[in-house]
Amino acid sequence: SPQQPPPAPYITVDEADSTVRVHNSYPIREELGRILGFSFDGEGRYWHKPVADVKMLLGVADHGEVTVDMLMDKARGMKAEGAAAPDSRAAAALDQQRSPSPHRVDTNPGDQLEQLSSMGHSAQGHAPLHSPHRTPSAVH
């Protein structure tokens, strides 16, 4: 009947050239091509990627474990990371702003010297007043 749903994507592994192939992949072509980096075979109408790359991508030891769902989960995760990338870049920029810039390093020693010298003056100026021994003898 014309009401049939489109065929579901499925995976085959071509042992001869060691590629994972995804067939009926039209609904997920964006994820496969743009996010997961599969290549499209126009003649065979499938997306393919070397088995070793797919295993590394998904973190599985055996390509027999690879499923379309795993690929889609991975694509969703990478898409979310991709969407978050500008935030992490902004955070990196903030870190750079927080770390002292060369300009600030130049001004710091001067500020510290001023603070030290002004502290020195005030200490010298007040020392006689605060010294309990000297003050009474000076008064009496």
Confidence band of 66 (pLDDT split at 50, 70, 90): very high
pLDDT above 90: residue 31: yes
Burial of 72 (0-12, 13-18, 19+ CB in 10 A): middle
Tokens of 136: 């009474």
Q: Which range is least confidently modeled, 35-39, 78-82, 102-106?
A: 102-106
pLDDT for the residue numbered 67 = 96
Higher pLDDT, 28 or 94: 28
49 contacts 19 by C-beta, under 8 angstroms: yes
pLDDT for the residue numbered 82 = 81
pLDDT for the residue numbered 38 = 98
Pairing label, strands 46-50, 39-41: antiparallel
Q: Mean pLDDT over residues 105-131, rounded?
A: 56
Backbone φ, ψ for residue 44 (5° rounding)? -85, -10
pLDDT for the residue numbered 52 = 97
Residue ranges per structural domain of the chain = 10-84
Confidence band of 81 (pLDDT split at 50, 70, 90): confident
Higher pLDDT, 101 or 24: 24
What value does the mean pLDDT of the chain take?
78
pLDDT for the residue numbered 1 = 57
The overall pTM is greater than 0.75: no
pLDDT for the residue numbered 87 = 57
Q: Which of 26, 75, 61 is nearest to 47 (CA)?
A: 26
